[in-house]
Amino acid sequence: MSYSDKVIDHYNHPRNVGSMDKSSPDVGTGLVGAPECGDVMKLQIKVNRDTNVIEEAKFKTFGCGSAIASSSLATEWVKGKTVDEALTIKNMDIVKELSLPPVKIHCSVLAEDAIRAAIGDWKKKQESAKPVAAEAK
């Protein structure tokens, strides 16, 4: 199967590979997997507390080229968006942008899952932080 140029570009020059401190209150981490192929993807976001804007995004994916490209693109897309805006990203947007073939759709699903999971994790931290914040050191 041949990959599109955009996939190859992201694959060869993945943007935003890396990780951030998982325990930081401003960082949300999403770790997701695709049972179809056994691939895993971790995506992290750092959110500005006052504006809800995602200022930083990192990923690390162990999987196929399409999964790497999808997550790389996902980090590019979420950066600069507010959390709510980022939630509107759909896997089919990724499919279109990268011209993924039908058999690679699940790789883009993984990227959408990762965004949602990271945001979900961050939101959970915000909620639990509220009551604790008062007694924090």
Partner 1 sequence: MSKSTVSTIAAARTHDAAESCWSCGAMRVAQFCGACGKVQPPAPVDYFSFFGLPPKLNLDVATLEKEFYELSRKLHPDLNARAGSKEQEWSLEQSSRLNDAYRTLKDPIKRTQYLLHLEGVQLEEQSKSATEKARATGEVKKQIVPPDLLEEVFELNMQLEELRMEKKTGEDDPALIAEIEKHKAALEQKYEALFQELQSYWKSWDGLIEREQAGQAVPAGERKQALDKMVDVLNRRNYIRNLVRDVNEALEGSS
Q: Which residue has the tokens 């990203």?
A: 89
64 carries an active-site annotation: no
What is the spatial distance between Cα 83 and Cα 45, in angstroms, rounded to a whole number? 10
19, 37, 49, 128: the catalytic one is: 37
Residue whose structure tokens are 């915000």: 126
Q: Is 47 in the site for ligand FES (CB under 6 A)?
A: no
Task: From the list ligand FES, partner 1, none, pick the one residue 97 interacts with, judged by a Cβ distance below 5 to 8 Å according to partner type.
Answer: none
Determine if 7 is a binding residue for ligand FES (CB under 6 A).
no
Nearest partner of 77 among 119, 127, 21, judged by Cα: 119
Q: Is 37 a catalytic residue?
A: yes
Which of 1, 23, 35, 132 is in the footprint of partner 1 by CB under 8 A? 35
d(CA 91, CA 32): 14
- How far apart are the C-alpha atoms of 73 and 41, rounded to whole Å? 13
Task: Indicate whether 37 belongs to the interface with ligand FES (CB under 6 A).
Answer: yes
Per CB under 6 A, residues contacting ligand FES are 34, 37, 39, 63-64, 66-67, 104, 107, 110
